[in-house]
Amino acid sequence: MAWIPRPHQIVDGATNVAHKALYGHHADLRPMPRTLIDDGELREVYHYRPHAGVQRRGEPVLLVTPLAAPSMCFDLRRGCSLVEHLVGSGRPTYLVEYGAVSFSNRRLGVEHWVDEVIPQAIRAASEHAGDRPVHVVGWSLGGIFAVLTAADQHDLPIASMTVLGSPFDVEQVPLIAPLRPLLNVADGVPLSLAYRILGGAPKPIVKRVFQYYSFDKMITKPLAIARHLDDREFLAQIEAVDRFTENMIAYPGRSFGQLYHRFVRDNSLAHGRLQVGDRTVDIATLATPLLVFAGSSDGIAPVPSVRALMALVPKAKPARFEVVPGGHLGLLTGRAARRTTWRTLDAFLDEHSLDEHSRAEHGRADGARAATATNANTTPTAPNGPRPDIGTNPKRRHSSASSRALADGPAS
């Protein structure tokens, strides 16, 4: 809405205010229907029910939730839900989440997720889908856990790996880098005592940290709402992101301690090796097709911190890197993600599918891109050559129009 709104903007704004007053919300926050197929300690694996009449497409997709974040990150709201998109396109869709973390879970370390939770979720999704290999899609810490799991257990039925907003080099995170020398000097003693006494990082602290990284959004939020009163989609996204933040989950004590000492203080992931339980996991052994996304305005996982993974996985072929509009949550489920992240993910999943229907869809998309290139007096890429649409340029960004569109959205 302009500073001097036009008549139709005034009408739309008044309508949205009235709708909020009458119904209490703008967003459709109904979760996609799902069924529990497997569970264990801090492990719940769900299958999202397919749409009637939609043809099945490709291998199963398993969405891996990060610690401390609610699984609604993948199902934010109707119309802006990756789950809804995947199910609507016919892909068998699964999700692993961890439920509420309590003081009794304080002794669970990172190895619980790498040894048990993620592997069992992959096997459960594969078995439920007819023993087919699984496309694993992990966001933030979920992506890190998924990569560690695939690098550690090579016998898992994994078709491909997609990582979104996962920082593998925390020295490249501006808000953390200045603190690391202080943490080394103090040897982390104050924080270690705190998480041991509390049994982990409590939910209110996790919520405040997430908000701190989005401080600029919090400050400008009232002004942004006032300027977008005529945009119901914008207001709906604000509501959905607020609900997501309110539902943050605690970290188990031992896991939080390992993340703090090994990820933040020692920056072990940047060197490609991490101590997990009684062994060292070498990320260089990852040998699945890999797609990595970074958000252009992500403060939690800036582009260089995510790009660091690419140098650690020489056996992952192909390995592709994409910079898309959005912040930490926005790159996954912001309004622009529907036109950028999701479309790129669709092409990648189809490319690495064993399903004839998916390969046909991929071929039609290739043909359309080739025709567009020909009409523009450019030379189409050879069938066996590098693909023009995904990751051929590791510094490529989506169009400035998409970036501007997401800049207007709250989930960035």
pLDDT recorded at residue 185: 44
pTM score over 0.85: no
The answer to whether residues 172 and 302 touch, using CB atoms and an 8 Å cutoff, is yes
pLDDT at 194: 46
Q: In three state form, how does the secondary structure of the chain look?
A: CCCCCCHHHHHHHHHHHHHHHHHCCCCCCCCCCEEEEEEECCEEEEEECCCCCCCCCCCCEEEECCCCCCHHHCCCCCCCCHHHHHHHCCCCEEEEECCCCCHHHCCCCHHHHHHHHHHHHHHHHHHHCCCCCEEEEEECHHHHHHHHHHHHCCCCCEEEEEEECCCCCHHHCCCCHHHHHHHHHHCCHHHHHHHHHHCEECHHHHHHHHHHHCHHHHHHHHHHHHHCCCCHHHHHHHHHHHHHHHCCCCEEHHHHHHHHHHHHHCCHHHHCEEEECCEEEEHHHCCCCEEEEEECCCCCCCHHHHHHHHHHCCCCCCEEEEEECCCCCHHHHCHHHHCCHHHHHHHHHHHCCCCHHHHHHHHHHHHHHHHHHHHCCCCCCCCCCCCCCCCCCCCCECCHHHHHHHHCCCCC
Task: Give me the sign of the Cα torsion angle 246, 247, 250, 251.
Answer: negative
Predicted local confidence at residue 243, as pLDDT: 86
What domains are defined for the chain? Answer: 30-177+271-407 (3.40.50.1820)
**pLDDT tens, residue order, the chain (412 aa):** 555 666 655 555 566 556 456 555 566 899 999 999 999 998 999 999 999 989 999 999 999 999 878 899 999 999 999 999 999 999 999 999 987 776 666 778 889 999 999 999 999 999 999 999 999 999 999 999 999 999 999 999 999 999 999 999 998 987 665 455 544 444 444 444 444 444 444 455 444 555 444 544 544 455 555 555 556 677 777 788 888 888 777 667 677 778 777 888 889 999 999 999 889 999 999 999 999 999 999 988 999 999 999 999 999 999 999 999 999 999 999 989 999 999 999 999 999 988 655 555 555 555 554 444 444 433 333 333 433 334 444 444 443 333 333 333 455 5
Q: How far apart are CA 323 and CA 312, in angstroms?
A: 18
CA 285, CA 205: separation in Å to the nearest integer? Answer: 35
pLDDT in tens, 29-81: 999 999 999 999 989 999 999 999 899 999 999 999 998 788 999 999 999 99
**Cα 383 from Cα 374, distance rounded (Å):** 14
Q: How far apart are CA 137 and CA 146, in angstroms?
A: 8
Supply the pLDDT for residue 67. Answer: 85
